[in-house]
């Protein structure tokens, strides 16, 4: 029997236990590889829920998550900190570890990989160049590496403190990380320590430092430290001189082919890194570390139990969706070098992506965790001056549109999430709405606020003026919601009125049968019909601006268009607080229905981007929720599945995954408001454990491919005729029974979801 087979059998026995236990667990349905092929950009290595340390494979240096599915590309090492699902420039990839054999004269040790395996809390692969089995596990703030070499003759492990993702040769290249400094010291034959200091990346952030303390389970026979590309045999330290440093631990005729390595990480100090190592990985039991991670995930995802008859594929899609939603943001309480106040969370990457469905899903599954995340935002406001819109490596940035932390706060407030100082939160929201960030508006706050508060819209003097105006209007609605609840009526009236500002960019023009679109306007109040494009032979070209025009990235930079990552056809549906008024301005219900149909049928809708997350449910406001269900199922059936390319776009810290998970249950939140829209679920039943020993069950009676329409419903035994349900009804516990039929009915046609312009 080969060593590989023995290792695999042992792993199966120790990690996944026996089949009878596996049948009672939900984490077995999580597949971290979903979204690793295509645009998903997910992290495939082990992670605890919201865990700071995420050790994983780095295939080259330019993938955001470190991972690339192409087995013809060489693996360059296993670094300890990663993000998941993100677009834009990479971040992290700190403290790389690479095992190898034989050639100790070169620092460039790369290998192709085979036999990749991953489960919750575990990643493994074979390094084909040397026949090494590499296995990874993790605690919250310390990583566990296990390397099994082909023999015990002449092997080594390199720890590279200078490695990071997204390196470019041009200093201060936009969205590229840049090296600042590193240091390494050999403490004993089994212990080393050091740090890596990096700046920049996706959010163009300030320098951050990752400290590490590493321990081997058997002594290194020889050490070599290195600086730059030069090895220094037997030299036990390299000081920080703005050059990359690291070390090579050599093993000769070692006692065991398997060498274990534990690495504690910290953003505070080497001493804190060692403390994290000792407290979180006190022994050398690799299997127990994996089990601990699995237990943490099981405790979370089992808050939602699906019907036993659910197909395996649907279970995999659903529970992996929950998993991806809770990889980020990262709990770094006690690991913030800027202030000691806790809680502290980092890697909001970015709230523009996650406020729509990820935050509401965390509120359902782990309300205390969501309260901690919001309190972390408030600590960021208190000590850095603004709520984050994006944040990574201790630095705010980047804003893509509105100040959408406002919506996260309002969502928590209307759902009566306890443990949050909403008076302080309102102050933070008011600052967003009244004080321009100045300097670099990509860091925080509201860029173009001077125009918005003076003109009632953001003019073309500012980039992203279209989606900023729309998002600020909804941010103002969120602010007004909290202000009203806290009896701050002056702010309520002001910002409730400003929530109508989206109408100031509504131009009564026709395109493809639809009437009225959000269009650019200059600071003098004139509509802008043309926008400048790239110069050709010294001449500046201009292109007509239509509802399907895309000025980025061909005419202007990615961040510099009128809209961010979408067209007016998509963004002109983004009025979450007043869909009724949007329908009116579009020409009425019949015109709006046709407008929605055109969006989907002509592929103006982009399934892989967040601005249209709510759009497929807008048929609810027409009294035709069955059309929403049809669209949602068309989208999911075409674009989502349990394969490795099963996500239609960047997962964006779990945004795509949370959108899927909600719709599989038949719920979808309108973030910032206290209700969920009801749609035909994929699951025959889902049971939500909502706290205080209460459960809420959603049951689809007679659900099948044929019986795909909700024809009636009962809530706790009483007729329920709305196609939307209040959050309070869910957390109070009970049972919602959806009666399914083969043809649509009038269910949900009369009591429509809330809209600002219509009082319920």
- What would the 3-class secondary structure string for 657-720 be? HHHHHHHHHCEEECCCCCEEEECCCCCCEEEEEEECCEEEEEEEECCCCCCCEEEEEEECCEEC
Distance between CA 499 and CA 750 in Å, rounded? 26
46-81 pLDDT, tens per residue?
A: 999 999 999 999 999 989 999 999 999 999 999 999
Rg of the chain over Cα atoms, rounded to whole angstroms, equals 27
Residue 477's alpha-carbon distances to 65, 270, 574, 584, 619, in angstroms, are 35, 46, 13, 19, 22
Average pLDDT score over residue span 175-182: 96
Contact 551, 543 (CB under 8 A): yes
89-103 pLDDT, tens per residue?
A: 999 999 999 999 988
Q: What is the pLDDT of residue 235?
A: 96
327-342 pLDDT, tens per residue?
A: 999 999 999 999 999 9
Decide if pLDDT at 554 tops 60: yes
Quick one: fold of 304-677? Glycosyl hydrolase family fold (1.20.1610)
Domain 42-293: which CATH number of 3.40.50.360, 1.10.580.10, 3.40.50.2300, 2.70.98.10: 2.70.98.10
Average pLDDT score over residue span 494-499: 98
Share of residues in the chain with pLDDT > 70 (%): 96
Mention every residue, 6+ apart, whose C-beta is less than 8 A from residue 336: 267, 268, 344, 346, 394
Decide if pLDDT at 2 tops 50: no
Average pLDDT across the chain, whole number: 95
Decide if pLDDT at 3 tops 90: no
Q: What is the pLDDT of residue 536?
A: 63
Distance between CA 356 and CA 376 in Å, rounded? 19
- Which residues lie across from 57 on neighbouring strands? 78
Q: What is the dihedral of CA 158, 160, 165, 171, to 10 degrees?
A: -140
453-492 pLDDT, tens per residue?
A: 999 999 999 999 999 999 999 999 999 999 999 999 999 9
Q: How many CA atoms lie within 13 A of 413 on its CB side?
A: 24
Closest CA to 355 of 372, 382, 374: 374
- Tokens read off for 469: 């105006």
Residue 448's alpha-carbon distances to 406, 437, 533, in angstroms, are 17, 9, 22
Q: Using the CB atoms, write b or e for 577-606: b if 16+ within 10 Å.
A: bbbbbbbbbbbeeebbbebbebbbeeebbb
DSSP class of 752: P
Mention every residue, 6+ apart, whose C-beta is less than 8 A from residue 445: 386, 399, 403, 431, 432, 435, 436, 437
Decide if pLDDT at 7 tops 50: no
Contact 511, 517 (CB under 8 A): yes
383-438 pLDDT, tens per residue?
A: 999 999 999 999 999 999 999 999 999 999 999 999 999 999 999 999 999 999 98
Mention every residue, 6+ apart, whose C-beta is less than 8 A from residue 64: 41, 83, 86, 87, 88, 89, 90, 91, 165, 166, 202
Residue 57 vs residue 3, higher pLDDT: 57
Contact 52, 265 (CB under 8 A): yes
- Tokens read off for 336: 């913030």
Mention every residue, 6+ apart, whose C-beta is less than 8 A from residue 474: 402, 407, 499, 502, 574, 575, 576, 577, 672
Q: What is the pLDDT of residue 304?
A: 98
Q: What is the pLDDT of residue 540?
A: 66
Closest CA to 739 of 705, 708, 695, 696: 708
Distance between CA 95 and CA 335 in Å, rounded? 17
Q: What is the pLDDT of residue 679?
A: 98
Decide if pLDDT at 119 tops 80: yes
Q: pLDDT confidence of 17, banded at 50, 70, 90?
A: very low
Q: What is the pLDDT of residue 11?
A: 44
Q: What is the pLDDT of residue 42?
A: 98
Q: What is the pLDDT of residue 343?
A: 98
Decide if pLDDT at 125 tops 90: yes
- Tokens read off for 610: 């967040």
Q: What angle do CA 379, 382, 383 make, to 5 degrees?
A: 90
DSSP class of 152: S
What length does the chain have? Answer: 760
Range of lowest pLDDT (20-29, 346-355, 598-607): 20-29
Largest CA distance in the chain: 81
Closest CA to 224 of 250, 259, 244, 187: 250
Q: What is the pLDDT of residue 537?
A: 64
Domain ranges of the chain: 42-293, 304-677
Do the domains at 42-293 and 304-677 have one common CATH topology? no
- Tokens read off for 375: 């309190």
Q: What is the pLDDT of residue 334?
A: 98
Q: What is the pLDDT of residue 170?
A: 86
């Amino acid at each position: 029997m080969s060593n590989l087979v023995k290792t695999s059998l042992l792993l199966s026995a120790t990690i996944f236990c026996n089949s009878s236990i596996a049948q009672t667990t939900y984490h077995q349905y999580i597949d971290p590889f979903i979204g690793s092929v295509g645009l998903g950009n997910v992290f495939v290595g082990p992670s605890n829920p919201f865990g700071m340390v995420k050790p994983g494979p780095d295939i080259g240096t330019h993938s955001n998550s470190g991972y690339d599915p192409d087995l013809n590309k060489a693996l360059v090492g296993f670094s300890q900190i990663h993000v998941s699902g993100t677009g834009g420039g990479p971040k992290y990839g700190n403290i790389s570890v690479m095992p190898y054999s034989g050639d100790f004269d070169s620092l460039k040790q790369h290998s192709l990989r085979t036999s990749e395996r991953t489960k919750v809390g575990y990643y493994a692969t074979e390094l084909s160049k040397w026949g090494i089995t590499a296995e990874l596990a993790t605690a919250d703030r310390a990583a566990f590496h296990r390397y099994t070499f082909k023999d015990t003759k002449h092997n080594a492990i390199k720890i590279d403190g200078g490695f990071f993702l997204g390196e470019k040769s041009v200093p201060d290249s936009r969205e590229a990380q840049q090296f600042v400094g590193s240091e390494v010291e050999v403490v004993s034959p089994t212990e080393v320590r050091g740090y890596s200091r990096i700046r920049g990346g996706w959010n163009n952030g300030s320098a951050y430092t990752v400290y590490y303390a590493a321990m081997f389970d058997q002594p290194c026979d020889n050490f070599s430290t290195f600086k730059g590309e030069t090895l220094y045999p037997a030299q036990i330290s390299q000081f920080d001189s703005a050059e990359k440093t690291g070390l090579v631990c050599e093993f000769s005729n070692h006692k065991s082919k398997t060498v274990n390595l534990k690495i504690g990480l910290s953003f505070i100090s080497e001493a804190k890194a060692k403390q994290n190592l000792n407290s979180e990985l006190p022994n050398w039991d690799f299997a127990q570390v994996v089990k601990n991670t699995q237990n943490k995930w099981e405790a979370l995802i089992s808050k939602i139990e699906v019907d036993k008859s659910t197909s395996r594929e649907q279970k995999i899609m659903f529970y992996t969706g929950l998993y991806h939603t809770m990889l980020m943001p990262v709990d770094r309480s006690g690991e913030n070098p800027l202030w000691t106040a806790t809680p502290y969370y980092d890697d909001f990457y970015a709230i523009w992506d996650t406020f729509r469905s990820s935050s509401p899903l965390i509120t359902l599954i782990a309300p205390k965790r969501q309260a901690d995340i919001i309190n972390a935002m408030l600590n960021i406001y208190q000590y850095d001056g603004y709520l984050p819109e994006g944040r990574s490596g201790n630095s705010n940035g980047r804003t893509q549109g509105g100040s959408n932390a406002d919506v996260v706060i309002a969502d928590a407030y209307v759902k009566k999430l306890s443990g949050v100082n909403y008076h302080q939160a309102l102050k933070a929201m008011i600052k967003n709405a009244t004080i321009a960030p100045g300097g670099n508006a990509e860091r925080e706050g509201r860029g173009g606020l001077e125009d918005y508060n003076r003109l009632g819209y953001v003019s073309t003097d500012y980039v992203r003026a279209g989606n900023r105006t729309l998002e600020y209007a909804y941010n103002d609605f969120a602010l007004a919601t909290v202000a009203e609840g806290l009896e701050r009526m002056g702010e309520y009236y002001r910002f409730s009125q400003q929530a109508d500002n989206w109408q100031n960019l509504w131009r009564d023009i026709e395109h493809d049968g639809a009437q009225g679109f959000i269009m650019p306007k200059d600071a003098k109040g004139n509509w802008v019909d043309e926008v400048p494009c790239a110069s050709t032979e010294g001449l500046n070209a201009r292109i007509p601006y239509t509802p399907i025009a895309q000025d980025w990235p061909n005419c202007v930079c990615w961040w510099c268009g009128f809209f961010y990552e979408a067209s007016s056809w998509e963004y002109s549906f983004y009025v979450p607080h007043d869909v009724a008024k949007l329908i009116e301005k579009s020409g009425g219900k019949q015109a709006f229905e046709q407008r929605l149909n055109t969006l989907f049928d002509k592929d103006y809708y982009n399934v892989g981007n967040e601005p249209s997350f709510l759009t497929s449910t807008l048929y609810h406001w027409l009294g035709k929720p069955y059309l929403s269900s049809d669209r949602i199922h068309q989208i999911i059936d075409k674009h989502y599945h349990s394969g490795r390319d099963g996500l239609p776009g960047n997962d964006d810290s779990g945004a795509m995954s949370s959108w899927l998970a909600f719709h599989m249950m038949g719920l979808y939140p309108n973030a910032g408001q206290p209700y969920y829209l009801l749609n035909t679920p994929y699951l025959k039943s889902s049971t939500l454990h909502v706290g205080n020993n209460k459960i809420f069950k959603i049951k689809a009676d007679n659900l099948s491919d044929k019986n795909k329409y909700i024809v009636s419903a009962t809530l706790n035994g009483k007729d329920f005729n709305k196609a939307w349900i209040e959050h309070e009804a869910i957390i109070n516990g009970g049972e919602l029974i959806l009666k399914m039929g083969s043809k649509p009915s009038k269910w949900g046609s009369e009591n429509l979801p809330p809209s600002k312009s219509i009082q319920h």
